[in-house]
Chain A
Amino acid sequence: MSLNARNALWALLITVLITGTVIYAVNYLDEQRVAQLDDLQTRLATDTLSVETQFALLESAPCADVSEGNTLSQEVSSLGDKLSVTETRLGTDDAQVLELKKQYTLLQIRDYLLTKRLSTACHIDPTVALYFYSNTAGSCADCDRAAYALSYLHETNPKLRVYAFDYNLDLGALKTLIAVEKVDPKFPAFVINGKRTYGFTTLDDFKLQFPKDFFATTTATSTAATTTKKK
């Protein structure tokens, strides 16, 4: 074999090796991301259970004892952001992403229920927004805008708690929530303090869906919220 042919074959082999290494490295990093999410999810599940148990044990205790819920919600929010990024990278059909998303959705629902119980027991009055989106192609042109607007509203108004749900996720608890809240498959869909609305036009119009004095009275000392952006 001539030197040129040998160089050409070696070059092909090395190029394939470099490309393979890069693909492996990127997949490894993605796996690490998923593992990181899994760890975070497991920890949050334990924390949630702990708060719920604590709440159950101290039915009549001062509400300050369950204030852990605040930091918990912040972590759920962080998990949501990371899950959203992972979903973008690996795809909405990725089995690991779907599994994580189901767990995350369960966490959100539990956090939502906990928030409701806390608000009743402790006379807290958080503004809660349930946001339903769809990842089905062409079914929700405004979901990206709605998700970003909700993130903005949550971060600038910490009293607002946002829970984002993939309407089509195959999860019994989510289906029950959708049935309980009577949410139709029109996207984006919102349930803000129990009131259902559909569609997103502008941020200013969207703000009208919130209680009249909400944006005027918000303080920076309240609870955090969760948001998962739709892809």
Chain B
Amino acid sequence: MNFNYVIYPFIFIGLYFEVFVLLVFLSAPARDRRARATSTRTPKVAMIVPAWNEAPTIKANIESLLELDYPEDKLSVVVVNDGSTDGTKEILDENFTNHPRVTVVHQVNGGKHSALNAGIDMATDAELVGCLDADSFVERNALREIISCFDNPKVAAATVAMSVFEPKKPLEIMQNVEYVLGIALRHILSSVNGIYVTPGPFSLYRRDIVLKVGGFRFGHQTEDMEMALRLQKEGYWIENAPRARVYTKVPTTVRGLIKQRTRWTSGFLRNVAFDYRGLVANPRFGVLGMVVLPLGFLAIVGGILLFVVTIVIAIQNLVHSYFIHSGIPLSYILSQKLSFDIFYVPVSVLLLLGIVTSIGMVMFIYMGKKVSNTPGRLLPGIIAYALIFRFIAPFWLIRSLKDVTLGKKRPWR
């Protein structure tokens, strides 16, 4: 069987998406966003920190919020301890009970969405409410950068540039590259209102709109995605501030990564395929409905298909190679591979299109680095990302699809 016919449509669609995103990047709306100045407005902001067993990071997390470059009387922090059992409560009580700008709420574990709602209820005088996962830390200028997104009254929420906190391990370095790619895509898609998730590590919302649409919901363990899709459905805009940076901790083991991504991907599938399927392929929702969500599905299906095809071809080649080379000395077999003649270079449509799309992806990664002023070298991470990460991704894609198909629910951690 010629597997090329299975792969070609996905390569073509992937290339189309890259070209489309590049054109959007070059368009005036995206250019305007890159040129947007830091706002001088200082509306009242309450940062909500939902915390469930976050003892190792909760103190530094809150301190990073208190150090934000923002008028002290305009910024408050509401920490909602969502029934932690690991000492988070004690750390909060010891350090922040009588803090003038920090409100600590202890509640019975009700999930992240209920903790967020509890925090929003407490922040009665805030115009904007921010959510910051307890394993994340913000840069000092992040709030001022993001405030300017709300100059447009139609904007209900804004996202930031997420980076991996001190990436050292190989898996962290690879995720860092992925996050930088995410910075580029979020920046570009925000200019056409194509964002479908307002990530937990530091997103800002208009409090009145959040309350108007009914507050946070469970959202299949992806309350940030559910909220973003609901805001989109209600016709609001979701913006992005690429120079507002938040650092987040990421899984350091393959097992942890697969678990996290299974939650994200199955959340996407459940939210988009069931709760918000009306948005998909609906021209009323513009780029989000016609490009981002449909291609999100195709990326999952394509990722699984390409992986399966790659595995099947690899096994076929291995078996064939073993069959052919059986009995022939290894020294001879290896010497055959070393000879080089341009005539034998296997240039194919698939290979060239693969190279073009890979170049496109690398280009977007560097765009993300540029628009967000992300420091550090990315090349080793890009190489590792290309060679290793894409072979891990299919595992959570397959697992997510299986979970959604069988209706299986998994715990958060």
Residues of chain A touching chain B, judged by Cβ–Cβ distance below 8 Å, are 3-4, 7-8, 10-12, 14-15, 18-19, 22-23, 25-26, 29, 33, 36, 82, 85, 89, 144-145, 148-149, 152, 155-156, 202-204
Contacts and interface: CB of A to CB of B under 8 A. Distances in A.
Contacts of B290: 8
Contacts of A144: 320, 323-324
Contacts of B343: 33, 36, 82, 85
11 contacts: A12-B16, A15-B15, A22-B356, A23-B349, A26-B348, A29-B347, A144-B323, A145-B323, A145-B324, A148-B325, A155-B332
Interface string B297-331: 00000000000000000000000100111111000
B326 A18 contact: no
A7 B325 contact: no
Given A33-B343, A36-B343, A25 B352 contact: yes
A202 B15 contact: no
Contacts of B19: 10-11, 14-15, 18
A108 to B, nearest CB: 20
B344 interface: yes
Contacts of B192: 4
Interface of B: 12, 15-16, 19-20, 23-24, 27-29, 192, 286-287, 290-291, 320, 323-328, 332, 343-344, 346-349, 352-353, 356
B326 A11 contact: no
Binding site of B, secondary structure by majority: helix, strand, loop or mixed? helix
Given A11-B16, A11-B20, A26 B347 contact: yes
Nearest to A8: B20
Given A23-B349, A155-B332, A148 B324 contact: yes
A202 B323 CA distance: 10
Interface SS of A by simple majority: helix
B356 A149 contact: no
Contacts, number: 75
A33 B345 CA distance: 11
Given A7-B20, A7-B27, A25-B352, A202 B347 contact: no
A164 to B, nearest CB: 15
Nearest to B344: A85
Nearest to B352: A22
B326 A145 contact: yes
Q: Which of B28, B290, B326, B343 has the most CB of A within 10 A?
A: B343
A33 B348 CA distance: 13
A196 to B, nearest CB: 22
B164 to A, nearest CB: 30
A11 B316 CA distance: 36
Nearest to B16: A15
Given A7-B24, A8-B20, A25-B352, A19 B324 contact: no
A144 B325 CA distance: 10
B352 A8 contact: no
A81 to B, nearest CB: 8
Contacts of B332: 152, 155-156
Given A18-B353, A148-B328, 15 more contacts: A4-B287, A7-B23, A10-B19, A12-B16, A14-B19, A14-B23, A18-B15, A19-B353, A22-B349, A26-B348, A85-B343, A149-B328, A152-B328, A156-B332, A203-B327
Contacts of B15: 15, 18-19
Contacts of B324: 144-145, 148
Contacts of A155: 332
A19 B349 CA distance: 8
A202 B326 CA distance: 8
Contacts of B347: 25-26, 29
